[in-house]
Amino acid sequence: MQARGRTIAVLMPNHFNASLFRTIQECMVGAGGSVMIVGFKKNEPLTDSTRKEVLTVDIATDDLKLGDYDALVVLDSATPEEMIASKENLGLISRSYEHQKIIGAVDRGVELLVASLGSLLSGRRMTGPAESRIDLESSGAVYVDEDVVVDELFITAKTADSAERFCQILLDIFQARGGLAA
């Protein structure tokens, strides 16, 4: 199993895309890995964008340790500004980058990468929705009009429709890094 012993920390916004989360969760768990929901406060309820589904935060952003996860995935949000306004979220992304964790972002989740890493994205090939293109290019990233783009430790997906391919690429990276977590 490609993800046995691996954990992804999913930085989860309120008003999340339930289909996107479920696709990534099922892919990861189906490959033997685990998914941890990261949010502002442990046990905080998060509702999906249709307000039909509620999930609970597994661990607060401040409590997440680098050894707790192998990859950080930032999901799309109907309200990315709320996620960007959080120093804790931006700090988590920065720490993950500094410690060479795999960092993935889907749809407008790329806006958190820009807010957190800024010019460190210079020269990186990335994708995202059309409305995020200017932000990516302003940070120095090279916008690529493809569904999923990999640049070293970054995996970006243009839309939630690319979630299956995004997750398969993440699993391939885990496999290339030796399969099992250290």
Residues written for the chain: 182
Over residues 129-148, the mean pLDDT reads 96
Domains of the chain, first to last: 7-176 (3.40.50.880)
Residue in the structure block whose two tokens are 């979220």: 89
pLDDT in tens, 71-90: 999 998 766 788 888 899 99
- The Cα 158–Cα 140 span in angstroms is 18
pLDDT(181) > 60: no
Stated pTM of the model: 0.94
- The Cα 165–Cα 168 span in angstroms is 5
